[in-house]
Amino acid sequence: MEFLYQLENIRNPFFNGIFRLFTLLGQEVVVLAILCFFYWCYNKKLAYRISFGFFLSAILVQGLKITFRIPRPWVKDPLFQPVEDAIKAATGYSFPSGHTQAATALYGTLALSTKKNVSKIFLFLVIALVGLSRMYLGVHTPADVLTSFCITLVTILLIYYFSKYELNQNKKVYLMLGIGLISIALLVYCVTLYTNGTIELAYAADSCSAAAAGVGLAIGWYVESTYLKFKERACSNRMQVVKLLLGLVITVLLKVGLGVILRSSIAGKGLKYFLLVLWIMIGYPCIIKRFMSNKLE
């Protein structure tokens, strides 16, 4: 907490605005939008590595959140004051940091995939700034940020290493089942803690969302890589822009619509993220393959 108090002492409106921008780089909606760009339009294999790193590290982080159940800094120390408008996005327990996890999964995977040292330094600097922003805004401690960074870094390094190997049909099935079982294990653990009164609904819903998204990833990756095999670059540049914007608009509308229909129950939030991931990985690619491929200017 001492470090957070030191950051609190240097707060001013200018720095508040700058660090709000940095923290947006680790926001779920920004990470998913960039992931959609790579998956639908630019580099599907790289998008898979980002997806595996993002969702698997999210499962690990959410599991730790509901296991340790460490409160936010201002709850631990009532004298400490976070930046007020940062509290709304600070859902769930404090340890580890979800924003740091998301930023490390995305920008860390991109850093590992580029050969340019300048790009690597820039991307890891982005991760550092996202982590620092969470502490500056007063919603996470250094332990939250560093633990999340280390867990996610190890995850993406393992994925980067194993992504070099080609998978036959049997190995694809095993990988799909493995990711699915890990996700279901978190789901069962989360529901158990909720039903026995250990965690509240909001905390349980966040963890179930990550678990359901993991199941969607496992199914979506297997179906697309085995059967669908759409071509992300099989259209003109103009159509690429149209494809991306249309897909993002539909995804946002679907997210909002499912949120209204399914509400904020554990089952509802889980089903929403499961369907969203399937839409991103299978639903929209089916439309791309059917209507947008091979369209020339």
149 & 283 share domain: no
1 & 76 share domain: yes
- pLDDT tens, 49-72? 999 999 999 999 999 999 999 999
58 & 99 share domain: yes
pLDDT band, very low/low/confident/very high, at 227 (cuts 50, 70, 90):
very high
Range 7-19 average pLDDT: 90
- pLDDT tens, 249-279? 999 999 999 988 887 788 888 999 999 999 9
Give the residue from 115, 136, 165 where a domain finishes.
Answer: 165
205 & 266 share domain: yes
List the domain range (segments joined by +) for residue 51. 1-165
CA atoms of 5 and 274, how far apart (whole Å): 40
Range 148-164 average pLDDT: 94
198 & 137 share domain: no
Bridge partner list, 89: none
Q: Fill in the DSSP letter of residue 71.
A: P
Tell me what the pLDDT averaged over the chain comes to: 91
22 & 157 share domain: yes
- pLDDT tens, 180-226? 999 999 999 999 999 999 998 888 888 999 999 999 999 999 999 99
3 & 144 share domain: yes
76 & 196 share domain: no
Range 9-23 average pLDDT: 91
The beta strand positions in 132-286, using DSSP E, are: none
153 & 183 share domain: no
Residue 229 burial (10 A CB sphere; 0-12, 13-18, 19+)? exposed
pLDDT band, very low/low/confident/very high, at 88 (cuts 50, 70, 90):
confident
Rg of the chain on CA atoms, in Å: 19
Range 74-100 average pLDDT: 87
159 & 27 share domain: yes
Task: Write down the pLDDT at residue 297.
Answer: 40
Q: Tell me how many degrees the CA angle 88-91-95 measures, rounded to the nearest 5.
A: 130
Tokens standing for residue 6: 């030191």
Residue 171 burial (10 A CB sphere; 0-12, 13-18, 19+)? exposed
Q: How many domains, in total, are found in the chain?
A: 2
192 & 236 share domain: yes
92 & 229 share domain: no
Give the residue from 165, 191, 223 where a domain finishes.
Answer: 165
pLDDT at 296 over 50: no
By percentage, how much of the chain surpasses pLDDT 90? 72
Give the residue from 105, 130, 165 where a domain finishes.
Answer: 165
Could you tell me which of 173, 276, 295, 282 has the C-alpha nearest to residue 230?
Answer: 282
Task: Write down the pLDDT at residue 45.
Answer: 93
